[in-house]
Chain A
């Protein structure tokens, strides 16, 4: 009988963070900037985003920062996200675990066309260096916006942030993030220019390794990503990324698509990335993809069903893995969300290795 290891893990195992939900683009509004201050989405909500949070939750409540109890001047936006999760993990050893995922505070100060954005919070510490590595500024950037307060226009950023690439999923374990060039905590010094309209958006990012600490992103390079909306309910996208280190480089090309079906209130999203790594004169191709269907139920419930596929090397048989996800989100109030996240992962459909799985209950509180 396999042993069942019951552990309650505090900070050691995993960290987490959250971006915006790409599930809301097209289903709730046209662009990420309709609800978020950042041109790539995620982090602080604008007024429309707060109203959406209230409207789609079961019990509503004042969606403003701290329920509106703390008023901030017009030039200052504050916020935060707290997440923790508990549940079952099989990889294939079995655990019952619980851990904090995210303790982030956000601030944005705006004057005319310029703004300064910071995300400060908890991170998984570096072993042996806990005192200096438990709290960090994951994002810190200055931004110039051609049309202050608008969701559209030209956005230029410089500082530390995640290169804009792909659909920008919340779920960092998704193959298209973990293996796809935007893994957890891979924010890095970067310069980006984004141009966003109701019909299309283009994001160009140049980035480099952060020399000030041991970063997750060890490469320098560039990313270009664009989305074009074919009407109100359909969107296609494409992008490319180049990453370079002194011992290797990677090329990435990808396609994305979204289709919202208003009748059944269903959103289909897909992201397919072809990865072309090179090392020591050996080049090969891998593939990471996800296809997700999201059903919006009345009263604050959202259900995601996804199929993910990752192939480390397309030339070699049985190196692929498939993940089947079923996530149920309950937006209880404007600030509280409960998520039941489940996945079963097969290696070459059982021929390539042990089967993995997890089932986690996650609590998310937005300040």
Chain B
């Protein structure tokens, strides 16, 4: 039986001009290769996989009311984090990490987010050169699951995503609980605990019609300019990823003890009202927990709100973002009360997310124990778009590789130290990460177990 890697190598050669042209595939050339074996080793009753994800919210925090005073495991919960009380042991707070701007302008709601994600604050979308770190991690561990990564947002807009190969290639989000259910648990879902498994030949057909490489296509690749060629390569890379996914559908999935089919959600309209958003987010978080427990993916991104935050309250003329800039600081309280409410509710939603992951039993612990989630915002203090002390948090223990429930207070190192750390924990072979003043080579060893 031909091995998939061989065939893919062949496709690549065909595309890049060297090899013969394939006009067809052997009938049953569809079963897995090296990565399939790797999958069997991690999923099939062996070690449980470690999953990585990000959780994003827009418009930051009020730093004095968000950052704990005490460091280490006994950290206090400031008012905006009060809702994390029951999950504090799972959550590490990372305060005091900065985005060095190297003399460039701080592009509001953009520089901070992009620096955390790509290792450098780009000047505009199209100037983003590096992939976001979830993509780097998915490249390292994403194969062998049905979805290489899942991008999610409860805000109804597939454009709400901060996951990209570069500034021209955003991975669009699944924008609602119902669509998420249909994509993950719809007709293509194969219950890993089902006793019966019959490979469906339709997956073989789908895979084979995607795979052919023609002489005409080879010539096209030769005459494209460099930028177009990169875009065409990206298309062909996507083709290969879909082929791999279809190949997985032809294998009996290894059993997954905690996998249960979730209930189908209703078709509620997305909203910018924070209470409605939080409810949709909770549904999606619980569904994501099942998607992870069912080995549908190992990498995900959840965007609770867009950078700068679109959240508001029904009936109020002014939303979260406008309030950060416009609300007067209450002289008695010493802070902006409406902003404080929005941040606190956003942090409560983050608590919902952590709780949903911790609620699933897996092995001797919980699903969350086998996860690493990086939560962060686009700015620290929304009022002035500050990117010093950018708020970040981690949840999960990455399969026992790290400690959780710590407050690490840093004195202004680049945010990229966190990005480098999570990549290393997730097995990305990187000894340094970031560009310019953001380039770092020291992970946060104090997190290591």
Q: Do A and B bind each other?
A: no
Give residues in B with beta carbon < 8 Å to A: none
Give residues in A with beta carbon < 8 Å to B: none
